[in-house]
Structure 1
Amino acid sequence: MDQQRGKVIVQEIEYWQKSKLLPDHYCDFLLNLYAEQADQSKPSNRLTGRAAEAARSASGKQWLFAIVFFSLICFVVLHFNAFHPLLQIGVTAVGFVLLLWYGQRMRRKNEAAGIAVIGMDMLGLLGMGIYILHQHDDNSWSSKALLLAGCALLWICYGIGARLSLLHLAGWVVLILLYAWVLARRDVEPPWYEIQLYWVPMTFVFAWFSWFIQRWSRPVAAVLFIIGCFIWFMPELYSTMFVEDRAWPQLIMFAKIAIGGGLLFGLRKQWIAWVA
């Protein structure tokens, strides 16, 4: 039924009901009947309904493009291992950019879905990099470290540019863990005070950058402040994982909890203004 015609009929029935030209139960029955018909005539808002409507209204050229595109994806997936390494990197980069563009476009309609697509795309890039290295028997530490550092820098830059604080935070966490991995490769086990010197000064550097950047971007300042707090306890985490003597790290950790809590309480008016 035509929607305009249905609206006219519904208005007439409502007029009959107000004017007492028909009993109320007859009017209610007719209103429910025409309301159901109007709902059935409306296009479905579900995903399957929209997909079916798009498939029905698609032209022959669009169908041909979809078939060719799907065939190309199948060809790339089936023969990816036979490609030259540069071609594998190029295909991965093109797929990454296309999926990133799609996720950013989806964010305008659905923020959560768009962020999920972007997150899977970032993890997929890291996974494909590891897969390509493994396929070509490049298991060297330097290659893996370079891949992790590149992905982390990409996450930081894109997280800042796209205002994705979680992605920005993940990039810094990966760099911090990579730095711990570099320290762990040393042959000599450092004493406890040397481990503190490797990490604690960076806490104050990140805190200063958080204060400096907060005038331009509060989300970026908040991420830097969180990373600074995380690095404050990294010496103890590092000692737990890579150092045999674990008595000193436990005592230092409790002392740093007390010192850090006191600093946060005493300077709460300042740092809350940076990140809030």
Structure 2
Amino acid sequence: MNTEKRETILREIQYWRRSKLLPEQYCDFLTNLYDEEGRERGGNPISLRNLEQGSIKVWLFGFGVISLILLIGFYFSVFPWGLQIATAISILVVCYGYAGVLRVREPNFSLILAGIGSLLTLLFGIWMIGLHDLTAPYWKPSLLALCGLLWCILGFGMRIGLLQFAGYGALCLLYAEFFGSVRPDAGIAELQLLWLPLCVLMIWLSWLLHHRISGIAGVYFAVGAALWLMPELDSLVLRGTEPDWLPTLLIAKIGIGLALLFGFRKKWMVWVTT
């Protein structure tokens, strides 16, 4: 059996487990039956199942990892610049690496590790900027761009939609910050022209790629749906301008968006679920 079919079957078994469609022992049996790679490696010792069963080795390993992270946190500021970068990259490689390895067999644990890795990416960057007094205005935007690209690439590679969505969100914030510095006095009409073409582009890409690349159409559609409201959110939250009629416009756009989603539900649901 090829890898793609085996992963599809394993995902279905995990769905049966979460939905209680089959007893736990049957799901364990089917998982062991189809997980050829897991049998070849002798099984994965770090899993939610082993934690639940109270494996002493796993809990001791967890204690060691937490202690190591605390030690790194206490002494990170006195590390040389090169050692700080190497330490941060090593921790991120472990988090994202295990998230990718466990993506099929332990999807919940994989999501947790990917979330921890993403949070640490941002925190390590902010911490190092503060430690080394990097006050140039391009450092924080560069960090945001790096995080956005990293999350988009890893989210696509591991088929983690939330990670991809976070990546596009970071890039959208960078886009908003750039045009906020170029056009700080932009009105709501100009903001519509700034964001709505991106909304249309992302939804068009969702339609274009839904039958070519699996696991990406839903992310693009969600990003496009979020961009539908970005002109108002940009004006209200990022620029701090709040005309009296802005809440009315926001509610009207929400109503129009829901009406469009309802009217074209038979089309976009196909893209999202493909």
**TM-score, structure 1 as length reference:** 0.69
Is 1:103 the counterpart of 2:108 in the alignment? no
- Secondary structure of 2:241's match? coil
Aligned with 1:270 (options 267, 271, 274) = 267
Q: How does 1:136-147 map to 2 (within 5 A)?
A: 136-147=132-143
Number of equivalences: 220
How far apart, in 2, do the equivalents of 1:254 and 1:239 lie? 15
Alignment-derived partner of residue 222 in structure 1: 218
Is 1:158 the counterpart of 2:154 in the alignment? yes
AA aligned to 2:233 is: L
CA contact (8 A) 1:155 1:170 kept: yes
How far apart, in 2, do the equivalents of 1:259 and 1:193 lie? 17
AA aligned to 1:254 is: I
**Would the alpha carbon gap of residues 254 and 139 (structure 1) be closer, same or farther in structure 2, given more than 3 Å must change?**
same
**Would the alpha carbon gap of residues 253 and 148 (structure 1) be closer, same or farther in structure 2, given more than 3 Å must change?**
same
Unaligned runs of 5+ in 1: 1-44, 56-66
**Would the alpha carbon gap of residues 208 and 162 (structure 1) be closer, same or farther in structure 2, given more than 3 Å must change?**
same
**Would the alpha carbon gap of residues 51 and 140 (structure 1) be closer, same or farther in structure 2, given more than 3 Å must change?**
same
Alignment-derived partner of residue 244 in structure 2: 247
Unaligned runs of 5+ in 2: 1-49
Q: What do the CA deviations read for 1:100-153 (whole angstroms, capped 9, x no partner)? A: 223333445422122212210221121111101100011333111111111111
Calculate percent identity across the aligned residue pairs: 33
- Secondary structure of 2:101's match? helix
Query: Which has the larger Rg?
Result: 1
Alignment-derived partner of residue 172 in structure 1: 168
**Would the alpha carbon gap of residues 131 and 256 (structure 1) be closer, same or farther in structure 2, given more than 3 Å must change?**
same
CA contact (8 A) 2:51 2:59 kept: no
How far apart, in 2, do the equivalents of 1:260 and 1:102 lie? 39
**Would the alpha carbon gap of residues 71 and 196 (structure 1) be closer, same or farther in structure 2, given more than 3 Å must change?**
closer
User: RMSD of the alignment, in Å?
Assistant: 3.0
Considering fraction of residues, name the structure with more helix.
1
Compute the displacement of 1:258 (Å).
Answer: 3.6
Indicate the structure whose relative CO is greater, using CA pairs within 8 Å and at least 6 residues apart: 2
**TM-score, structure 2 as length reference:** 0.70
Q: How does 1:77-226 map to 2 (within 5 A)?
A: 79-186=75-182, 188-226=184-222
Compute the displacement of 1:92 (Å).
Answer: 1.1
